[in-house]
Structure 1
C-alpha cells in the first residue's frame, strides 16, 4: 500500500525524529517503547518506508505529544486517502483513488492539508479558482478530446478541490497571475467572461489574494514557469514546492529550493499589481465594475 509521495514521507519522518529528540529518547528507546525493531523507527525517520496513521499515533503517544492539531496533521501526512484503525479520516478524494493518477492524488492531499498556498500561473487560471465551464474547456484541451464521462469526472474533482477555500479554517491562497491568464479566451468569450466574474467574486474573500502581472511588466522572473508553494500549519519544515509538468509533478523540498522559490514569489508579488488594483484590472478586462 502506498502511504504518500517520498517528499511527504521524508518530511513526516523528520518531524517524528524531532519529536523523539525533544523527549531525549534514542531511536532504540523509542522502538522499545512501541515494541518495534530499531530499524523500523530509523526507516520511518529517514522516509525510506511508508508509515500507517496508527503507527504515527503510537510514536506520538510514546513521545507524549498531546496537541490534537499536530497529531491530526502528522497523521494526515501519512498519505493520500489512507486510513486505518487509528481512525484517521479519509479525504474526499479516496473515492477516486482508482481513477486518478497517483501524482494528482498526492497533489490534492497536500493541497487539502496545507494552510497557505502561493502560486504563480502563466497560462491558465489556477484550479482552485476555475468555474465548471472553464475547467471543462481546459480538461478537453489538455487531454485531447477525451470521453465526456471522463471530462465530467475530472471537472467534478476540480470543483471538489475548491472546498479548501471554504469552511472554518480555509486555505489562504495568494495567486500571481500573468496577464495572459486573463486574456486567453479559454472555452470562448462567454465562458471566459463568467470566469473573470468568478475571479472577482472569489477575490473578495478575505483569505484569497490575487495579483496580476501586466504585460507592461513582462520582464520578470515568472518566465521560469508556474509553480505552487504549500505551507503547513505549525511546521515550517513541511513546506514543499510543486512544479507541474505534462505527465507528472516534481516536488522540491530542499531548503535552498524553498528559499529560491519563496524569494522568486516575493519578487513576483512585488512587481505585480496590488490585490485591489488587480481586481480593478480584471474588472476592466471583463468590462464590468468591481461590484458587477
Structure 2
C-alpha cells in the first residue's frame, strides 16, 4: 500500500515503459529521440522522479501514441504529480490536500468506478444539504465559508455522472447508510429521494446490502475501485481513512477487491428491490 502520488508516478512510469516497448524502442532510443539523457527515461519509468506533463506529451509523440483518451489520461496523471494542469480542481488547491486532488483526478479520468459504502452516501450521490451535514460532522470547527467551498467541490465532482462519456458507477450501500439520519430527517428524506433519482441513470447501478445478510466481506470498511479506458494496468483500489487515503495497485490486490465486490453484489438486493427499500425508508417504514 502506498499513498497516491507515489502510486501515480509508478503506474505512469510502467505504462510509459509499456508504450516504449510497443514502439520497439530501447530507453536509449527514447532518450535520443526526446533529446534527453538515458537516465531521465529510466527515472521516469521506475517512478523514482516526477515527470512534467510536457515530458509525457513528448514521450507519447516519440512513441507515436495517437489515442486521444490514453494521451489525456497519461497527461492528467503527470499533471497530478507535478501540480500543474488546468482541471477544475486546481482552483481549490489551497483548500483541499494533494491526496484529495489526486483522488478527484482519478475519478475524472476513470471510465468506471465500483464503490462500497458502509456509513455514508458516496460523494458522487450526495445532495447539497447532506454533503454539508457530512462535512460539518467529519470536520468540526471549520468556518462556514470553508464548509461551503468543500461542498462545492463535492458537487462539482458529480459532473462525471452527466458528462458526454459518463462514469459508469456501481455502488453497493450497507442499509446503515440509508437509515443513519445525517443532517436530520428532512435532509435524509431528500437524500434518499436523490439517490432514487440518480439510480435511474442508465450508467448508475445501485444495490443495498440489507441488515438481513449479516456479516459480509466488506463490513470492515469502504473502498473504491477505479478502472480506466484502454488499459487495466492503471486500475487502482482506494481505501479512505480519516486523515489520508491508501492506494493498492498490485494485480493481486485488485483481484481480491474485485472478487469481494462481485461477492457483495451477489448478496445485495437487486437494483429494483434496492429502490423499493429506499422508498420505504424514505416514507418512514
Alpha-carbon separation, structure 1, partners of 2:136 and 2:283: 27
Of 271, 277, 290 in structure 1, the residue corresponding to residue 273 of structure 2 is 277
Give the direction of change, closer, same or farther, for the CA distance of 1:103–1:282 in structure 2 (3 Å limit).
same
Aligned to 1:69: 69
* Cα deviation digits, residues 48-98 of structure 1 (max 9, x gap): 1111111111111111112222211111111339687xxxx6211010011
Q: Who is 1:137 aligned against?
A: 133
The 3 A distance-change label for structure 1 pair 223 and 83 is closer
TM-score if structure 1 supplies the norm length?
Answer: 0.93
Q: Which residue of 1 aligns with 2:57?
A: 57
Q: Which residues in structure 2 correspond to 1:189-228 (within 5 Å)?
A: 189-228=185-224
Alignment of 1:115-154 (within 5 A): 115-154=111-150
Q: Report deviation, 1:126.
A: 0.3
Equivalents in 1 of 2:214, 2:135: separation in Å?
27
Paired with 1:268 and 1:60, the residues of 2 have a C-alpha distance of 39
TM-score (norm 2): 0.95
Q: Contact (CA 8 Å) 1:31, 1:38: kept in 2 or not?
A: yes
Aligned-partner Cα distance in 1 for 2:74–2:193: 38
Write the deviation string for residues 161-186 of structure 1: whole angstroms up to 9, x where unpaired: 10111121011010000000000000
Residues 119, 175 of structure 1: 8 Å contact kept: yes
Note if contact 2:8-2:81 (Cα within 8 Å) is conserved in structure 1.
no
Q: CA deviation at 1:219?
A: 1.8
Higher RCO structure (Cα 8 Å, ≥6 apart): 2
1:267 aligns with 2:263: yes
Q: Could you list the structure 1 runs, at least 4 aligned residues long, displaced by more than 3 angstroms after superposition.
A: 81-84
| Alpha-carbon separation, structure 2, partners of 1:185 and 1:65 | 50
1:42 correspondence with 2:38: no
Whole-Å separation in 1 of the counterparts to 2:56 and 2:143: 41
RMSD of the alignment, in Å? 1.4
The answer to whether the 8 Å contact 2:13/2:44 transfers is yes
TM-superposition CA deviations, 1:217-259 (whole Å, max 9, x none) = 0221121210000011111010000001010000111111111
Gaps of 5+ in 2: none
Deviations 1:111-134 (A, max 9, x none): 111110100000000000000100
Q: Distance in 1 between matches of 2:175 and 2:121?
A: 10
- Aligned equivalents of 1:79, 1:72: Cα separation in 2: 10
Q: Is the 8 A contact 2:130 2:187 kept in 1?
A: yes
In the alignment, structure 1 segments of 5+ residues that lack a partner are none
Q: Kindly indicate whether the alpha-carbon contact (under 8 Å) linking 2:208 and 2:268 is maintained by their aligned counterparts in 1.
A: yes
8 A Cα contact 2:225 2:237, kept in partner: yes
Q: Does 1:93 align with 2:89?
A: yes
Contact 1:9-1:47 at 8 Å conserved across structures: yes
By how many angstroms is 1:154 displaced?
Answer: 0.6
Given that 1:80 and 1:91 are in contact with CA atoms closer than 8 Å, whether structure 2 keeps it comes out as no
1:120 partner SS: strand
Using a 3 Å threshold, how does the CA distance of structure 1 residues 191 and 81 change in structure 2: closer, same or farther?
A: farther
Match of 2:246 in 1: 250
Residues paired across the two proteins, number = 281
